């Protein structure tokens, strides 16, 4: 009996991006399988953030296209791409610093339910028991429940990142893009974030993760693609990538562990 072919939920096809004379991305062909965690690794300046920005519509590619579940994303505005079910956790957390932590998580849950943010949303917050409960459960999962009444701006950098992750997860995206989700976190917080990301794996959410920390990469990734100087030099299972001499070479002769 033949195996069912994997469902490719995202395909970046023949993507190129030039910044003036600089070729930030060349010949990118990246296929992301539905339900998997796909890590993109590579040295500084390899083009990882540029690739993520092309996927979410923040940067138009010079040529090529990105297709999500049969829909061409290229040319769409970031909010349209978000409405298709793609969320991204940024390197610099995008939160509402003057609002309580709990309301930060409730806001995107309202947006998911209503399709857009409503100006006076928080007037009806207390009556929105279901959403409040969902947000509280999410804060419990992410370890921030004890801080729910504090202003988000007062959180540590690592906690702000976890809050932003909660804000993305509560939208229940089909594809979650994580740009160095554990940067700035202590080892303890990094490990709890790994645990949380593992936990949501069972929900079937597809994740693309950019990460420098190899402990995080090898704890989470089902597949890894390696970018170097704007090109994908290797793509495969974690063990294959670990043993690939081209990857070792791209990391300046260091070992990938
Ligand atoms: N807006 C921009 N204008 C001009 N050059 C840019 C721009 N954004 C990125 N670059 C350049 O494109 C190349 C790829 O950058 P990018 O930030 O995508 O790499 P990266 O792999 O994410 O690096 P890091 O791991 O350090 O975050 C770099 O040479 C960078 O200087």
For 115, left (φ over 0), alpha (ψ -120 to 50), or beta? Answer: left
CA 50 to ligand 1 centroid distance, Å? 6
Residue (of 238, 231, 255) closest to 27 by Cα position: 231
Q: How far apart are CA 100 and CA 110, in angstroms?
A: 15
Q: Provide the pLDDT for residue 23.
A: 96
Please indicate, yes or no, whether residues 103 and 59 belong to a single structural domain of this protein. Answer: no
240 pLDDT higher than 90: yes
Please indicate, yes or no, whether residues 179 and 69 belong to a single structural domain of this protein. Answer: yes
Q: What is the pTM of this model?
A: 0.86
Write out the DSSP string of 20-72.
TTEEEEEEEEEEEETT-EEEEE-STTSSHHHHHHHHTTSS--SEEEEEETTEE
Domains identified in the chain, total number:
2
Q: How far apart are CA 179 and CA 210, in angstroms?
A: 5
| 27 vs 83, higher pLDDT | 27
Residue (of 21, 16, 73, 13) closest to 47 by Cα position: 16
Per-residue confidence band for 152, with pLDDT thresholds at 50, 70 and 90: very high
CA 229 to ligand 1 centroid distance, Å? 10
> In the predicted model, what is the mean pLDDT of residues 212-222?
91
pLDDT tens per residue, range 84-125: 999 887 666 679 999 999 999 998 888 777 665 444 455 555
Q: 91 lies in a domain?
A: no
Nearest CA to ligand 1 atom 5: 19
Q: Provide the pLDDT for residue 119.
A: 44
Q: How far out from the chain centre does Cα 117 lie? A: 22
Please indicate, yes or no, whether residues 9 and 76 belong to a single structural domain of this protein. Answer: yes
CB neighbours of 9 closer than 8 A, spacing ≥ 6? 32, 33, 34, 68, 69, 174, 175, 206
Q: 92 lies in a domain?
A: no
pLDDT tens per residue, range 153-205: 999 888 888 898 899 888 889 999 998 888 878 888 888 888 888 887 767 89
CB neighbours of 99 closer than 8 A, spacing ≥ 6? 107, 122, 151, 152
CATH of the domain at 236: 3.40.50.300
CA 49 to ligand 1 centroid distance, Å? 7
CB 223 within 8 A of CB 235: yes
Place of tokens 């957390």: 93
> In the predicted model, what is the mean pLDDT of residues 226-244?
94
126 pLDDT higher than 80: no
Mean pLDDT of the chain: 87
Please indicate, yes or no, whether residues 221 and 239 belong to a single structural domain of this protein. Answer: yes
């Amino acid at each position: 009996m033949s195996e069912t072919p994997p469902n490719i939920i995202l395909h970046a096809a023949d993507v190129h991006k030039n910044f003036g004379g600089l070729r930030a991305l060349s010949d990118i062909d990246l296929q992301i399988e539905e339900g998997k965690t796909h890590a993109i690794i590579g040295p500084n300046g390899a083009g990882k953030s540029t690739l993520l920005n092309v996927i979410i519509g923040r940067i138009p590619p010079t040529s090529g296209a990105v297709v999500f579940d049969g829909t061409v994303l290229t040319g769409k505005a970031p909010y349209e791409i978000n409405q298709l079910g793609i969320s991204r956790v940024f390197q610099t957390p995008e939160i509402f610093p003057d609002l309580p932590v709990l309301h930060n998580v409730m806001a995107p849950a309202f947006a998911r339910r209503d399709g857009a943010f409503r100006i006076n949303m928080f007037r009806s917050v207390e009556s929105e028991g279901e959403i409040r409960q969902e947000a509280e459960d999410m804060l419990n999962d992410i370890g921030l429940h004890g801080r729910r009444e504090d202003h988000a701006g007062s959180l540590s950098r690592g906690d702000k990142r976890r809050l932003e992750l909660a804000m993305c997860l509560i939208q229940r995206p089909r594809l979650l893009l994580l740009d160095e989700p554990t940067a700035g976190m202590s080892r303890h917080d990094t490990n709890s974030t790994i645990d949380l990301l593992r936990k949501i794996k069972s929900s079937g959410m597809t994740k693309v993760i950019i990460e420098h920390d190899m402990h995080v990469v090898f704890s989470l990734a089902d597949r890894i693609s390696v970018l170097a100087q704007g090109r994908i030099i290797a793509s495969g299972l974690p063990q294959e990538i670990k043993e690939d001499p081209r990857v070792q070479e791209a990391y300046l002769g260091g070992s990938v562990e």
